[in-house]
Amino acid sequence: MDEKVQRKRRSKTEAVRGALLRFKEEWEWHKLLHYGEQHARSRGIGREDIESLVDEYRAEAEASVPHRPAQETGTVLKERAR
């Protein structure tokens, strides 16, 4: 660890803080994944269902957003910025 800390020019405290932060972030991801797996299992959703559910969600989300031509969008944004 000392050699890596010296190469990155960080103190041991900074290195430990960074390692603890990464551990915490990974732990939060694991908890979230576990929650998602439990929730899916309770609803009878399997791995084979995921792709079609995501596609369905994206299609619904896209349908609910009004579309404007790119030029009009740029014009509207420029007018709002004034």
Residue 25: give the domain boundaries: 2-81
pTM above 0.85, yes or no: no
Contact 32, 26 (CB under 8 A): no
- Domain count of the chain? 1
> Residue 40 and residue 34: Cα distance in Å, rounded?
10
Element (H, E) at 27: helix 12-42
Give residue-wise pLDDT tens across range 25-63. 999 999 999 999 999 999 999 999 999 999 999 999 988
Q: What is the pLDDT of residue 28?
A: 97
> Residue 47 and residue 1: Cα distance in Å, rounded?
40
